[in-house]
Amino acid sequence: MDAALRKTLDELPPDPGCYLMKDRAGEVVYVGKAASLRSRVRQYFDRGGTDDRIFVPLLADLLGDIEVIVTRSEKEALLLENELIKKHRPRFNVRL
């Protein structure tokens, strides 16, 4: 993981919101929501994590940037996540 991405992870807010994971070309590859952006996004990079989705191990090498959007509540984050997935159509979001 490069230094810029590590810095982004270190500066994530503990607030609810959405995160957009982008590849090195700037294309959105995954959109997610979180009650705590700091805790949720860092889980993707924990070595002993329990997330068994196929794409998670690929993220450390694939990602170029993570953009976050802070919301006022988890409900607002859920609605925003839905809109962002429809807008960007990221390849790792399959449910919406």
Mean pLDDT value across the chain: 89
Q: Based on the number of CB atoms within 10 Å of its own CB, is 14 exposed (0-12), middle (13-18) or buried (19 or more)?
A: exposed
Predicted TM-score of the model (pTM): 0.89
Give the tens place of pLDDT for each residue, 66-84: 999 999 999 999 999 999 9
Cβ contact 23:62 at 8 Å: yes
Q: Could you tell me which residues come within 8 angstroms of residue 83 by beta carbon, excluding any fewer than 6 positions away?
A: none
| pLDDT of residue 46 exceeding 80 | no
For residue 81, what pLDDT is reported?
97
Tell me, what's the pLDDT at 96? 43
CB-neighbour burial class of residue 59 (10 A; exposed 0-12, middle 13-18, buried 19+) = buried
Q: What is the pLDDT of residues 5-41, one digit of tens each?
A: 889 999 999 999 999 999 999 999 999 999 999 999 9
| Structure token digits, residue 55 | 């794409």
